[in-house]
Structure 1
Amino acid sequence: MTRRIVRTGVQLSSVGFLIFLIILLLDKQFRVLPNSIHGHLPTHHPGLVVTDVTIVTCSSVNPFSSCTLDPSVWYRVDKDLYLGNTWTSSAYVHFQRKREEELLETDKVVVDLRVSRFNPGLLNSKINNPRGDVPNAADSSELDWESRPGGIWIRRSSELHVSDAKTTLTSVDVLFGADVVDPRPQWEVKDTPVLLNSLTELAEARISVRRGVPPVIKKPELRINDNERFKIMQAADLHLSTGTGHCREPVPEERVPGEACEADPRTLEFVEKLLDEEKPDLVVFSGDEVNGETSKDAQSAIFKFVKPLVDRKIPYAAIFGNHDDEGNLNREEIMAILEGLPYSVSSAGPDDVDGVGNYIVEVMGRSNSYHSALTIYLLDTHSYSPDERQFRGYDWLKPNQIKWFRSTSQSLKKKHDQYTHMHMDMAFIHIPLPEYREDTNSWKGNWLEPPTAPGFNSGFMDALVEENILFVSCGHDHVNDYCMLNRDMNDKPNLWMCYGGASGFGGYGGYGGYVRRMRFFEFDMGPGRIVTYKRLEYGDTESRIDEMMIVDAGQVRA
Structure 2
Amino acid sequence: MTRRIVRTTIQLGSLTLIIFLIVFLLDNRFNVLPEAIHNALPAHHPGLVITDITVATCSTLNILSSCKLDASKWHRVEKDLYLSRGWLSHAFIHIERKRESELTEKDKVILDIRIGELDPVTSEKNQGAERWESRPGGIWLKRTSKHRESDNINAITAVDVLFGRDAVEARPGWELTKKALILPNSGPENQEAYLTVRRGPPVAVQKPALHVNKDGKFKILQVSDLHLATGPGICRDPEPPLHDGGGCDADARTLAFISSVLESEKPDLVVLSGDQVNGETAPDAQSAIFKFAHLFIQRRIPYAAIFGNHDDEGSLSREALMQLTHSLPYSLSEFGPTTIDGVGNYYIEVLARGGSSHSALTLYLLDTHGYSPDERQFRGYDWLKKNQIEWFKSTSRDLKSSPSHTAYTHHHMDMAFIHIPLPEYRNTDDIVPSTGKNPENPTAPGFNSGFKDALVEEGVLAVSCGHDHANDYCSLSKTPDGKPELWMCYAGGSGFGGYGGYDGYHRRVRVFEFDMNEARIVTWKRIEYGETEKQLDRTIIVESGRVVAA
Q: CA deviation at 1:106?
A: 0.4
Q: Distance in 1 between matches of 2:266 and 2:151?
A: 34
What stretches of structure 2 of length at least 5 have no aligned partner?
Answer: 1-7
Q: Name the stretch that deviates more: 213-222 or 261-270.
A: 213-222
- Size of the aligned set, in residue pairs, is 536
Q: CA deviation at 1:403?
A: 0.6
Q: Distance in 2 between matches of 1:488 and 1:288?
A: 32
Encode CA deviations 1:474-509: one digit per residue, 9 max, x unaligned: 000000000000011111111100000100000000
Q: Return closer, same or farther for 1:32/1:455 CA change in 2, 3 Å cut-off.
A: closer
Q: Distance in 2 between matches of 1:238 and 1:94?
A: 33
Q: CA deviation at 1:118?
A: 0.6
Encode CA deviations 1:361-402: one digit per residue, 9 max, x unaligned: 111111111111111000000011111111111000000000
Q: Distance in 2 between matches of 1:393 and 1:405?
A: 24
Query: Structure 2: which amino acid aligns with 1:477?
Result: D
Q: Distance in 2 between matches of 1:118 and 1:230?
A: 53
Q: Name the stretch that deviates more: 305-314 or 165-174.
A: 165-174
- Equivalent residue in structure 1 for 2:208, among 205, 216, 220: 220
Other structure's SS at 2:194 match? strand
Task: State how 1:11-410 maps to structure 2 within 5 Å.
Answer: 14=16, 17-24=19-26, 28=30, 31-40=33-42, 42-45=43-46, 47-124=47-124, 128=125, 139-141=126-128, 144-162=131-149, 167-200=154-187, 202=189, 203-256=191-244, 258=245, 260-410=247-397
Q: Distance in 2 between matches of 1:515 and 1:13?
A: 57
Q: Distance in 1 between matches of 2:442 and 2:526?
A: 22
Q: CA deviation at 1:420?
A: 1.4
Q: Distance in 1 between matches of 2:29 and 2:414?
A: 49
Q: Distance in 2 between matches of 1:549 and 1:263?
A: 33
Q: CA deviation at 1:31?
A: 4.9
Match of 1:511 in 2: 502
Task: Determine if the alignment matches structure 1 residue 431 to structure 2 residue 416.
Answer: no
Q: Name the stretch that deviates more: 140-149 or 305-314.
A: 140-149
Match of 1:487 in 2: 478
Q: Return closer, same or farther for 1:15/1:290 CA change in 2, 3 Å cut-off.
A: closer
User: Would the aligned equivalents of 1:37 and 1:333 in 2 still touch at CA under 8 Å?
Assistant: yes
Q: CA deviation at 1:254?
A: 3.3
Identity %: 55
User: Would the aligned equivalents of 1:493 and 1:556 in 2 still touch at CA under 8 Å?
Assistant: yes
Query: Structure 2: which amino acid aligns with 1:553?
Result: S
Other structure's SS at 2:432 match? coil
TM-score (norm 1): 0.92
Q: Distance in 2 between matches of 1:541 and 1:15?
A: 59
Encode CA deviations 1:310-344: one digit per residue, 9 max, x unaligned: 00011100000000000111100100001110000
Other structure's SS at 1:523 match? strand
User: Would the aligned equivalents of 1:164 and 1:212 in 2 still touch at CA under 8 Å?
Assistant: no
- Equivalent residue in structure 2 for 1:456, among 434, 447, 456: 447
Q: CA deviation at 1:438?
A: 2.1
Q: Distance in 1 between matches of 2:23 and 2:29?
A: 10
Q: Return closer, same or farther for 1:475/1:164 CA change in 2, 3 Å cut-off.
A: farther
Query: Structure 2: which amino acid aligns with 1:17?
Result: I
Q: Distance in 2 between matches of 1:323 and 1:502?
A: 13
Q: Distance in 1 between matches of 2:511 and 2:222?
A: 6
Other structure's SS at 1:39 match? coil
Q: CA deviation at 1:219?
A: 2.0
Tell me how large the CA RMSD over aligned residues is. 2.1
Q: Distance in 1 between matches of 2:376 and 2:28?
A: 32
Q: Distance in 1 between matches of 2:18 and 2:239?
A: 56
TM-score (norm 2): 0.94
Q: Distance in 2 between matches of 1:265 and 1:198?
A: 27
Other structure's SS at 2:501 match? coil
User: Would the aligned equivalents of 1:237 and 1:478 in 2 still touch at CA under 8 Å?
Assistant: yes
Other structure's SS at 1:141 match? coil
Q: Distance in 2 between matches of 1:163 and 1:478?
A: 53
User: Would the aligned equivalents of 2:30 and 2:67 in 1 still touch at CA under 8 Å?
Assistant: no
Q: Distance in 2 between matches of 1:32 and 1:53?
A: 23
Other structure's SS at 1:101 match? helix
Task: Determine if the alignment matches structure 1 residue 528 to structure 2 residue 519.
Answer: yes
Other structure's SS at 2:114 match? strand
Q: Name the stretch that deviates more: 319-328 or 247-256.
A: 247-256
User: Would the aligned equivalents of 2:164 and 2:192 in 1 still touch at CA under 8 Å?
Assistant: yes
User: Would the aligned equivalents of 1:121 and 1:143 in 2 still touch at CA under 8 Å?
Assistant: no
